[in-house]
A and B are shown apart, each in its own frame.
Chain A
């Protein structure tokens, strides 16, 4: 079985976001970039399936050269090889086109990725890839098992969950608790250096959307503190002042 895991390189979840160049670019100064947290779940499950079923795991990132430490970490965790599509991932349709192009050439049985990236939060790439390849897409996937050519999936829905079955090939957007995040060990880090990382140029040039500028939210006003022994006052304030109940 061949598994493709698509990963993003995103600012660490604790990053305080700031912009530069007249609010047209993310201020990357001092920002640590990590594998998208949801993508980490996808990769961890792919590595588990590799151990269980004897699959191969290929990592794919659409990104510029500064994303390579993230790709190497994925190789250290247990992926066998990697692609980097040498382009800035500006638009979900464009990213999906790159993934679909590589998938068409290599016939993967499973394409896994996080349910969304934590920068643009679009949550769309897996579905567009599924549409481009003419195969089913399912998200957000909480549990995944493979029996023969059938995937047994538990998906989160509003207020509950759904158990599904579908035949491979599939595209899945993953989230916890599909697997425990894996931390690379020293042997993994050493072998990752020698695993193949192919850099390919992007296909297509369509940019259907572009961000013109960014903005930070206005800060909230000062907190109004209420004494614990006058807690009832809060309910009055929520009714008369905030007008939310």
Chain B
């Protein structure tokens, strides 16, 4: 009856958010007096897979069928459901992501599971199974009572800081039967930014709005982001104007981020934008309008011209 953790790979490495999920899952396993098993889908070497042990998993089930090399939520759900059955798992833990979202929903359907998304704390088992989650796009929290036999917890990024040990997990090959119907969607083309820090995974984010006046000015945003090792993001109007791609738009109808640091330059802070960033640990706002509502939600603020302030910040970071 182990706790099962779905682990995602990024170019053969365990994703950072999945490391958090393993640590979370191992903590839950400890609370339930059982062990934590990770299920990993795709190509990775055994040393990398065994490193799931550093975060608390004792066993890794590795599904390496070449058909699974392309991320596929439906097929991955079939794999994870088979792993849950093999391990008699009543709790499945995973980190929220684009792939995990597609997988989780299918899995919840297969297992008839109670599901909590955007979980931000360890469960309270004192009276049933209660977990705290972020709702209303970060504007509130819910305490969810999971009543189903099987429970799925989709963890929000930065919810838990993993502690590492030097333990390693055993790695077992896992070859469940796959359904042909899970491969009925054909991927024709994939376009993915490379070499940059991906926004949903980023610990540091530098974001900008219409205050930048045009896409030609984004260099000063990118330079600060590069100096910090941060991802770049933008407000909805900027994405609507096609100054920046949609996958950089954070807010109510865009990506929700919860980095350690969110720097907002030339963004006034409409409630819809705040909804996408209010889970950030530290918020810095730079705006020439001292009345910009975003200052009310910030930890640090600078009233000033972004064209002067951002380069100064970049130089200060480079001097560290």
| Chain A residues at the B interface, C-beta cutoff of 8 Å | 11, 13-14, 16-17, 19, 37-38, 92-93, 96, 118-132, 134, 136-140, 142, 156-167, 175-177, 206-217, 220-221, 223-229, 231-232, 234-239, 242, 244-245
Contacts and interface: CB of A to CB of B under 8 A. Distances in A.
Contact of B117 (A13, A122, A126, A229): A122
Nearest to A14: B271
A202 B170 CA distance: 47
Given A118-B137, A121-B118, A157-B98, 13 more contacts: A14-B271, A38-B253, A130-B74, A131-B110, A137-B102, A208-B148, A209-B116, A213-B143, A223-B298, A226-B301, A231-B308, A232-B315, A234-B284
Contact of A214 (B140, B185, B201): B140
Contact of A160 (B118, B186, B247): B247
A136 B184 contact: yes
A-B pairs with lowest CB-CB distance, top 10 = A127-B105, A131-B109, A228-B304, A160-B192, A208-B114, A208-B148, A232-B316, A235-B316, A124-B105, A163-B189
Nearest to A210: B145
Contacts of B82: none
Contacts of B137: 118, 121
Contacts of B77: 131
A211 B144 contact: yes
5 contacts: A118-B252, A216-B140, A220-B298, A234-B302, A238-B300
B169 interface: no
Name the prevailing secondary structure of the A interface residues. Answer: mixed
A157 B201 CA distance: 12
Interface string B208-237: 000000000000000000001000000000
B193 interface: yes
Interface string B97-124: 1110110111011101111111000000
Contact of B147 (A92, A137, A165, A207): A207
A234 B300 contact: yes
A220 B297 contact: yes
B141 A238 contact: no
Nearest to A161: B191
Contacts of B132: 215
A236 B73 CA distance: 43
Contacts of B317: 235, 245
Nearest to A118: B137
Contact of B140 (A17, A126, A161, A235): A17
B136 A119 contact: yes
Contacts of A165: 185-186, 188
B260 interface: yes
Given A157-B192, A234-B313, A244-B261, A223 B142 contact: no
Given A124-B105, A157-B192, A238-B261, A138 B185 contact: yes
B302 A226 contact: yes
B105 A158 contact: no
Contacts of A225: 295, 300-303
A214 B247 contact: no
Given A166-B186, A228-B309, A244 B204 contact: yes
A130 B179 CA distance: 15
Contact of A93 (B99, B101, B115, B303): B115
